[in-house]
Amino acid sequence: MVSAGNLHTCAITTTNALKCWGHNQGRLGDGTATQRTTPVDVLGLTTNVAAVSASDNHTCALTTAGGVKCWGINTSGQLGDGTQTSRLSPVDVIGLTSGVSAITTGEFHSCALTSTGAVKCWGLNSSGRLGDGTQTLRLSPVDVFGLTSGVSAIAAGDNHTCALTSSGAVKCWGFNGNGQLGDSTQTSRITPVDVTGLTSGVAAITAGESHTCARTTAGAAVCWGYNINGQIGDGSFTLRTAPSAVAGLSSGVTALVAGESHTCAITSNNRGLCWGGNFNGEIGDGTLIRRNTPVAIIGYAP
Q: Is residue 245 part of a domain?
A: no
Q: Is residue 40 part of a domain?
A: yes
Which domain does 59 fall in, by range?
1-149
Mean pLDDT across the chain: 97
pLDDT category at 2 given cuts 50, 70, 90 is very high
- Residue 301 reports pLDDT greater than 80: no
Q: Is residue 298 part of a domain?
A: no
Q: Is residue 101 part of a domain?
A: yes
pLDDT tens digits, one per residue of 42-84:
999 999 999 999 999 999 999 999 999 999 999 999 999 999 9
pLDDT tens digits, one per residue of 146-156:
999 999 999 99
Report the domain count for the chain. Answer: 1
Q: Is residue 104 part of a domain?
A: yes
Q: Is residue 55 part of a domain?
A: yes
- Check which CATH number belongs to the domain holding 139 and give it: 2.130.10.30
pLDDT recorded at residue 302: 67
What percent of the chain shows pLDDT beyond 70? 99
Q: Is residue 65 part of a domain?
A: yes
DSSP the chain: -EEE-SSEEEEE-TTS-EEEEE--TTTT-SSS---EEEEEEPTT-SS-EEEEEE-SSEEEEEETTS-EEEEE--TTSTT-SSS---EEEEEEPTT-SS-EEEEEE-SSEEEEEETTS-EEEEE--GGGTT-SSS---EEEEEEPTT-SS-EEEEEE-SSEEEEEETTS-EEEEE--TTSTT-SSS---EEEEEEPTT-SS-EEEEEE-SSEEEEEETTS-EEEEE--TTSTT-SS----EEEEEEPTT-SS-EEEEEE-SSEEEEEETT--EEEEE--TTSTT-SSS---EEEEEEPTT---
Q: Is residue 126 part of a domain?
A: yes
